Amino acid sequence: MNKCLLVFYSHTGYTRRVAEQVAKRAQCDICDIQERHPRSGFSGYLRSALEALTGREPALQEHGHDPSRYAVVIVGTPVWVGRVASPVRAFLSGHPLGEARMAAFCTYGGNGAEKALDMLAQLAGKSPVSRLALTDSEIDSGGTERKVEAFVDTIRAALPT
**pLDDT, tens only, 82-95:** 999 999 999 999 99
- Find the mean pLDDT for residues 43-61: 72
- pLDDT value at residue 24: 93
Q: Give the homologous superfamily in CATH for domain 4-158.
A: Flavodoxin domain (3.40.50.360)
- pLDDT value at residue 65: 85
pTM for this predicted structure: 0.90
More confident residue, 70 or 158: 70
Q: Which residues pair with 72 in a beta bridge?
A: 4, 101
Q: Which residues pair with 108 in a beta bridge?
A: 135
**How distant, in Å, are the alpha carbons of 14, 22, 149, 159, 161 from that of 17?**
5, 9, 14, 23, 28
pLDDT in tens, 102-118: 999 999 998 899 999 99
When the pLDDT of each residue in the chain is averaged and rounded to a whole number, the result is: 90
Buried b (16+ CB within 10 A) or exposed e, 27-45: ebbbbbbeeeeebeeeeee
Q: Does the pLDDT value for residue 1 go beyond 60?
A: no
pLDDT in tens, 25-43: 999 999 999 888 777 777 6
